[in-house]
Amino acid sequence: MKNQRDKLHQYQRRISVLTDRETEIARQMLAKGDKRKAKLALRRKKYQESLLAKTDAQLEQLEILTRSVEFAMVQKDVIYGLQQGTSVLETIHKEIGGIEHVEKLMGDTTEAITYQKVFTLREISEMLSDQMTFQDEDEVEEELGALEAEISGLSFPAVPNTRILELERSKKILLQEENEENVMAIMT
């Protein structure tokens, strides 16, 4: 099509040269006084101009067709791109495994998070309960009392603390039982 367009442009240039030549011939004939040949030259010029107008119309049609073909090629490329994109999306969906697989994965993740929370709470509870025994706690209290007496410089008589220790042990046992109940509640 582009070759055809170039040929039409060449044809237009030739016609323009011919119309200019016919005008010059008509002048020469009028200068010689030959009116009939001058009129004939002007008629040929008019015919060449009509051919030029037809050539312009054909050239315009050819350019419209060229633009249409170029646009169709762009559309073809867009459609090809859409097909490739769709194919890639389908491949990705196959790799993901569909909605059911994603839902299962989300459920597994939730279960893993819950398990981790329960395990962490249980671990903390065990660490707190195993860290110090009641005897260790009693010794710490006695040592603290001795340090306080040493710092203040006063010596206090020993106060019986058997009843207080029993209450503290009962409280600790209750706290341990509550922690275990909380852990069990989280696990279910």
Q: What is the pLDDT of residues 26-63, one digit of tens each?
A: 999 889 998 999 999 999 999 999 999 999 999 899 88
Same domain flag for 102 and 86: no
Same domain flag for 21 and 78: yes
Query: What span, in angstroms and rounded, lies between the C-alpha atoms of 151 and 146?
Result: 9
Has this prediction a pTM greater than 0.75?
no
Question: What is the total count of domains within the chain?
Answer: 2
Where is pLDDT greater, at 180 or 62? 62
pLDDT, mean of residues 58-72: 91
Same domain flag for 78 and 65: yes
Same domain flag for 7 and 87: yes
* Boundary (domain end) residue, out of 96, 112, 132: 96
Which range among 31-45, 86-100, 102-116, 159-173 shows the weakest confidence by mean pLDDT? 159-173
What's the gap between Cα 87 and its chain centre? 17
Match 């962490």 to its residue by tokens: 120
* Boundary (domain end) residue, out of 96, 130, 154: 96
Residue 122's pLDDT is 67
Please choose, from the candidates 43, 39, 15, the residue with its C-alpha nearest in 3D space to the C-alpha of residue 27: 39
Average pLDDT, the chain: 81
Same domain flag for 119 and 180: yes
Where is pLDDT greater, at 177 or 30? 30
Same domain flag for 53 and 27: yes
Same domain flag for 45 and 123: no
